[in-house]
């Protein structure tokens, strides 16, 4: 064990603790791979405390080789979704919601916003609903993969719980896959009854190239986008989308690209 890294983790866990027992649970969660198998629960429920407006939070997370811990650190320690928005969004669409950490972050930072989460993986969906409930965040949950059209797609299952991704046929027969429902953004908007989206967060493990590869007319109804672009030619593709749909030049922020339209 690297004692310097352990000391840094312990110091941060102490600073963010909701209680002493939560401090212990957080360290046990982070180092659960070192615990005997019989002492590793399938999930940990841990309390955290952050400066306003985030405040006191509780999350149900997994000891899944650091996958949930990595996402938690990106969102709450590094605040990758603290975005330079001109005004608070009235609606937020979370594409690739995972276990709901980003949705909770947005819910605390923009409490007046209506939030909707799109997520296809069953285990993520279970924890997504639980984490929204634990933190009093109201959001619509759509159990499907976001896609350029409606129907079904093939989800390739990765070792890390944040890296499951949609694959187009023919799939690699060596890797595990499952069929999941798929919905388009226009269908999501119709289901929700939304005329406009204040902010779209996109983290769909490379499928963004397909999602934004069509006509994307729904982008006319979007005020701001935060996108993790995983495939080649991201800057050029985003610049083209920005020009086409009236966004300002894409900005690279820590962990994501950001595009917005000027408020009128």
Taking the model in full, what pTM does it have? 0.94
Instruction: Please confirm whether the linkage preceding 170 is cis (ω < 30° from 0).
Output: yes
Tell whether the model's pLDDT for residue 156 goes beyond 90: no
**Of the listed ranges 39-48, 75-84, 131-140, 191-200, the one predicted with least confidence:** 39-48
Tell whether the model's pLDDT for residue 262 goes beyond 90: no
What the chain holds in terms of domains, given with CATH numbers, is 1-79 (no CATH), 81-264 (3.40.50.150)
Tell whether the model's pLDDT for residue 40 goes beyond 90: no
Query: How far, in Å, CA of 76 to CA of 103, rounded?
Result: 12
Q: Helix 20-30 vs helix 3-15: angle between axes, to the nearest 10 degrees?
A: 140
Q: Residue 170's pLDDT band (boundaries 50, 70, 90)?
A: low
| Per-residue pLDDT tens digits for 79-129 | 999 999 999 999 999 999 999 999 999 999 999 999 999 999 999 999 999
Query: How far, in Å, CA of 1 to CA of 4, rounded?
Result: 9
Q: Residue 57's pLDDT band (boundaries 50, 70, 90)?
A: very high
Query: How far, in Å, CA of 97 to CA of 125, rounded?
Result: 9
Q: State the average pLDDT over residues 51-67.
A: 95
Tell me which DSSP letter residue 33 carries: G
Q: Residue 176's pLDDT band (boundaries 50, 70, 90)?
A: confident
Instruction: Return mean pLDDT, the chain.
Output: 93
**How much of the chain exceeds pLDDT 90, in percent?**
78
Instruction: Please confirm whether the linkage preceding 53 is cis (ω < 30° from 0).
Output: yes
pLDDT higher for 178 or 140?
140
Q: Identify the pLDDT of residue 230.
A: 86
Render 200-218 in DSSP notation, one character per residue: EEE--TTTHHHHTSS--GG
Q: Identify the pLDDT of residue 255.
A: 87
β-partners of residue 236 are none
Q: Residue 67's pLDDT band (boundaries 50, 70, 90)?
A: very high
Buried b (16+ CB within 10 A) or exposed e, 56-66: ebbbbbbbbeb
Chain-centroid distance of CA 111 in Å reads 18
- Coil, helix or strand for 191? helix
List % helix, strand, coil for the chain (3-state, nearest 5).
35, 25, 40
Q: Residue 243's pLDDT band (boundaries 50, 70, 90)?
A: very high
**How much of the chain exceeds pLDDT 70, in percent?**
97
**Of the listed ranges 28-32, 33-37, 75-79, 248-252, the one predicted with least confidence:** 33-37
Q: Identify the pLDDT of residue 263.
A: 66
| Per-residue pLDDT tens digits for 189-237 | 999 999 999 999 999 988 999 999 888 999 999 999 999 998 878 899 9
């Amino acid at each position: 064990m690297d004692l310097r890294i352990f000391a840094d983790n312990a110091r941060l866990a102490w600073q963010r603790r909701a209680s002493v027992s939560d401090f212990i649970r957080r360290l046990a969660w982070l180092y659960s791979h070192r615990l005997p198998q019989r002492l590793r629960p399938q999930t940990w429920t841990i309390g955290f405390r952050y400066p306003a407006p985030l405040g006191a939070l509780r999350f149900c997370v997994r000891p899944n080789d650091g996958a949930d811990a990595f996402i938690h650190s990106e969102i709450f320690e590094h605040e990758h979704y603290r975005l330079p928005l001109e005004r608070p969004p009235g609606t937020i669409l979370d594409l690739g919601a995972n276990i709901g950490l980003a949705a909770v972050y947005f819910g605390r930072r923009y409490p007046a916003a209506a939030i909707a989460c799109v997520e296809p993986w069953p285990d993520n969906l279970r924890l997504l609903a639980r984490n929204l409930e634990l933190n009093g965040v109201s959001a619509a949950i759509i159990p499907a993969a976001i896609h350029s059209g409606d129907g079904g797609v093939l989800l390739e299952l990765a070792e890390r719980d944040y890296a499951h991704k949609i694959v187009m046929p023919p799939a690699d027969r060596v890797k595990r896959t499952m069929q999941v429902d798929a919905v388009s953004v226009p269908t999501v908007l119709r289901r929700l009854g939304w005329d406009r989206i204040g902010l779209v967060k996109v983290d769909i493990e490379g499928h963004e190239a397909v999602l934004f590869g069509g006509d994307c007319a729904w982008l006319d109804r979007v005020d701001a986008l935060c996108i993790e672009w995983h495939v080649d030619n991201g800057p050029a593709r985003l610049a083209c989308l920005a020009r086409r749909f009236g966004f300002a030049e894409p900005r690279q922020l820590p962990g994501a690209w950001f595009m917005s339209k000027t408020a009128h």
